[in-house]
A and B are shown apart, each in its own frame.
Chain A
């Protein structure tokens, strides 16, 4: 159950070995977290994190599922039903950054980028949707990105996928609203993670610790809808979004 301060007891994480998810879950574990289902494709990483949680007296379950795999996506709902009486928080952190050079990516690379950041998690969420509706009250926090707002030359495939996913999430939020499920779509700016090593940090870059602390506030203060983290980005992107194309492409190339 969620408590008065929205602290969850049972959590399902899609993208269970994402750095941001892991950091956030560690914060939750010092509050009410009891049971968690980690969903992801990398068994070693999930096992390692599972052990870490077990040491904190949390009961982890692991479901190996590549978000690109349609068959295991269909099983996801059953796995959750078998493991949990309720899901208090669904955290969606599935995603990948990567080479943005379309020639280097090739057909497979482009397909993977789009599936892992958009169609995969969208289908996973769809699979879990009936459970969320049935429960009549819970929270969804899904990680989107400011990249969803406008494409840059060096990230437009990622940006396109995230923008599709972000729009999908906005619809899901409306879909779930009548069932007392509150959805937060978190458009993160640049967070320093293992995914971003080697990339040039953008303005308002934040550390993992800050990112998870900000997510905690989203939960505690029941912030729903589209949320920018850090919040200042909301105003920055209000401006960037409305820049004429020529100017946008020029400055986005330079940053």
Chain B
């Protein structure tokens, strides 16, 4: 089968390259593509829905395999909630199929347009990480295609391979099928408790005191406000709604998930409308539109978990130069450093829509899995003059606080910093080299950060 060169990038639309893209239509074809790439001593990386922000899901000038054709649900156990799916199935499809039947995915990122394979490769987390861990904590086994054919990787029996692949950014091979455990739900709604908080210090305290009472918790922070309002925010915490929590209008259709995608951004904005002034105005408006103090409400899954999915291709608003997402985590006792970082962001005024703050629970065994116990902050930043320097300063602060940046969002951290952030890289490499001895799986991310 032939591949074709196409423009390619991550969700942040920078950096942009071209890769030779293969779109196999069967597992047999997929294997023959991998085989011929290996035979020619070429390199390749797998790609799902391209929702990683940076350079994880492509390889400049070389081969990329689009895995969206792997879209079948192979087996369902309605008693245990365990499903066996192909890796190209999206979380969106899983929700549309299983939510009405009383099951939800155990973990969902802020967009449901990700594939199961991509979610495992990044070991994604959701608003419930402090309670439920990340996606791989709900996966018992998967199959992996390498140049040596197909292997089954079981969490108990093949711990090393399992730990190298979850969070391994596609660099151990192509994940073909995944066994994932869904969680039972009564409704497709959550009971949301919203608290408006005046500044970051107060927020940190409130989250520490109350997070354990909620399955889902996340705060939206205005990173442009300063002084006594530094980090003013809106904290949303929630638990699954039960049938009894719904009013009559919702109860008839208590588990619906037929959300429509709304408007779509039809083209790249020639000049981005986002600038300091518009973003500041938006953040302020958004803070004050939330009622002072605390409020309770019932919200549908889609608007609570995936607020941006209603607008298709919203990444085009950032224009030709694109944007990057900076997401890091620092340990629990590093609140002072967290505040210092938010101070730096406010001072440098690198405009950002609301940043998202959340607390992670304990780390799992994935060598390169991002979540570690502590505070994680994520913010979208438009590419602008001087940004590289500011973000390098943030990297220094993060490294000094024993923190790390998320591979699924990164397209710029230096190799030096990456190796300090991820102390298990050597362990990971050893295992990876067993799975992929000729190192055919590689990506821009891997080359740029010298992961392999």
| B18 touching A136, Cβ below 8 Å | yes
| B60 touching A4, Cβ below 8 Å | no
Q: A5-B324, A9-B448, A222-B321 are in contact. Are A31 and B388 (CB under 8 A)?
A: yes
Q: A1-B448, A7-B412, A135-B60 are in contact. Are A180 and B388 (CB under 8 A)?
A: no
A-side contacts of B18, CB under 8 Å: 136-137, 179-180
- Among B53-76, those with CB < 8 Å from A are 54-55, 60-61
B-side contacts of A31, CB under 8 Å: 388-389, 392
Stretch from B9-17, B127-135, B176-184 contacting the other chain: B9-17
B434 part of interface (Cβ distance < 8 Å): no
Stretch from B190-198, B336-344, B378-386 contacting the other chain: B378-386
Smallest CB gap from A213: residue in B: B385
In the assembled complex, the Cα of A34 lies from the Cα of B324 at a distance in Å of: 22
- Among A190-238, those with CB < 8 Å from B are 216-217, 220-222
A2 part of interface (Cβ distance < 8 Å): yes
Give the shortest distance, in Å, between A130 (CB) and chain B (any CB). 12
| B12 touching A216, Cβ below 8 Å | no
In the assembled complex, the Cα of A135 lies from the Cα of B322 at a distance in Å of: 21
In the assembled complex, the Cα of A132 lies from the Cα of B275 at a distance in Å of: 34
Smallest CB gap from A34: residue in B: B415
| B12 touching A4, Cβ below 8 Å | yes
B214 part of interface (Cβ distance < 8 Å): no
User: By DSSP majority rule, is chain A's interface helix, strand, loop, or mixed?
Assistant: loop
Contact with B along A110-136 (1 / 0, CB 8 A): 000000000000000000000000111
**Neighbour of A4 across the interface among B7, B17, B383, CB < 8 A:** B383
Smallest CB gap from A135: residue in B: B61
Number of interface residues of B (CB under 8 A): 32
Smallest CB gap from B446: residue in A: A1
**Neighbour of B15 across the interface among A2, A86, A135, A179, CB < 8 A:** A2
**Neighbour of A5 across the interface among B16, B19, B388, B448, CB < 8 A:** B388
| A136 touching B388, Cβ below 8 Å | no
A6 part of interface (Cβ distance < 8 Å): yes
B414 part of interface (Cβ distance < 8 Å): yes
B-side contacts of A134, CB under 8 Å: 61
**Neighbour of A221 across the interface among B55, B385, B392, B414, CB < 8 A:** B385
B-side contacts of A221, CB under 8 Å: 321, 383-385
| A220 touching B324, Cβ below 8 Å | no
Smallest CB gap from B15: residue in A: A2
**Neighbour of A7 across the interface among B54, B321, B388, CB < 8 A:** B388
In the assembled complex, the Cα of A32 lies from the Cα of B384 at a distance in Å of: 17
Give the shortest distance, in Å, between B449 (CB) and chain A (any CB). 9
**Neighbour of B385 across the interface among A86, A179, A216, CB < 8 A:** A216
A-side contacts of B54, CB under 8 Å: 4
Give the shortest distance, in Å, between B306 (CB) and chain A (any CB). 24
Contact with B along A40-71 (1 / 0, CB 8 A): 00000000000000000000000000000000
B348 part of interface (Cβ distance < 8 Å): no
In the assembled complex, the Cα of A216 lies from the Cα of B383 at a distance in Å of: 13
B-side contacts of A222, CB under 8 Å: 14, 320-321, 383
B-side contacts of A4, CB under 8 Å: 12, 14-15, 54-55, 322, 324, 383, 411-412
- Among B374-431, those with CB < 8 Å from A are 383-389, 391-392, 411-412, 414
The 6 closest A-B pairs by CB, nearest first: A137-B17, A4-B411, A136-B18, A136-B61, A3-B412, A1-B448
Interface residues of A (CB under 8 A from B): 1-7, 9, 30-32, 86, 134-137, 179-180, 216-217, 220-222
Query: In the complex, given contacts A3-B388, A180-B7, A180-B17, what are 18 additional A-B residue pairs having Cβ atoms less than 8 angstroms apart?
Result: A1-B60, A1-B447, A3-B15, A3-B411, A3-B448, A4-B383, A5-B388, A5-B391, A7-B388, A30-B389, A32-B414, A135-B60, A135-B61, A136-B19, A136-B61, A137-B18, A220-B385, A221-B321
Q: What are 21 A-to-B residue pairs whose CB atoms are below 8 Å?
A: A1-B448, A3-B411, A4-B324, A4-B412, A5-B14, A5-B324, A6-B14, A6-B15, A7-B388, A30-B389, A31-B388, A134-B61, A136-B18, A136-B61, A137-B17, A180-B7, A217-B385, A220-B383, A220-B386, A220-B388, A222-B320
